[in-house]
Amino acid sequence: MERWPDVTEATVAQSLALRNEGRFHEAQAVLERAAQHAPRTPSIALAQSDIAIRLGKFHDALAYAEDGIAESDPIAYAEEHRDLLINAAIAARRIGRIDRARCYVEIAYAMDACDPFTNLQLAKVCLLEHRAHDAAASATRAIANVHVDDALDIITGAAEIILDPNIAPATTLAQRAIARAARAIRMRAPRSLATSELLEALRTATDTIEESAVATLTHLLHPA
């Protein structure tokens, strides 16, 4: 039994390497073989749900994620537990289980209200529920707390939500300014909006903005 943590760590690392190369079916096979010889740990369940989402197997992804949620410790392994909740929310949303998606993403949001990916997924659920103000607010928070390593993905998704025809009328001028700046970053046209305008919009649209977010957005708008 002592070897299982090592097997799990190696298996997940191998599957992630294959995933990053776009070899999703091979990654899935690695995880399935491991699950046959050792208990399905939350780490393996998380990796399996991630691969299933990428393969468009959303029912499988939801089952994997829910298994992982049941087995994971939300205190000792908070980040892993939150990621399982988000994968469950994504999968549930993609199969039309909006109530279940909202349940999972709201739990994840309660664990970390500043996580940009969680806020993006919350915005997508709110959009489907026609909650325009909530969708815009969540998308704005996603941009305000963005990290360098996932900035373009978050910015792309959040800008599309804020500027969605069903959402835009309910947004503030500041939120629309943020979305326009986000779109400019996505289009790799950093000089189309001054950094000062974006940061002023962020301060207007959000209660607080961390210095790390300011630095990240400044870098994206005006890279060295």
> What confidence tens digit (pLDDT) does each residue in 109-165 have?
999 998 999 999 999 999 999 999 999 999 988 887 877 666 777 877 888 898 888
Kindly state the tokens that stand for 80: 């892993």
Q: Does the pLDDT of residue 205 top 70, yes or no?
A: no
Sign of the Cα torsion 75, 149, 219, 194 reads: negative
Kindly state the tokens that stand for 132: 């325009």
State how far the alpha carbon of 177 is from the alpha carbons of 2, 114, 222, in Å. Answer: 54, 20, 17
Q: Does the pLDDT of residue 3 top 70, yes or no?
A: no
183 closest CA partner among 209, 205, 157, 206 = 157
- C-alpha–C-alpha distance, residues 189 and 204, integer Å: 23
What's the rounded mean pLDDT across residues 176-189? 69
Residue given tokens 């298994």 in the structure block: 67
How high does pLDDT run on average in the chain?
80
Q: Is residue 176 within 8 Å of 160, Cβ to Cβ?
A: no
What's the rounded mean pLDDT across residues 180-202? 61
**162 φ, ψ to 5°?**
-60, -35
pTM over 0.85: no
State how far the alpha carbon of 97 is from the alpha carbons of 88, 169, 171, 205, in Å. Answer: 10, 27, 27, 31
State the DSSP H helix or E strand holding residue 152, giving kind and residue range, or none if neither: helix 151-162
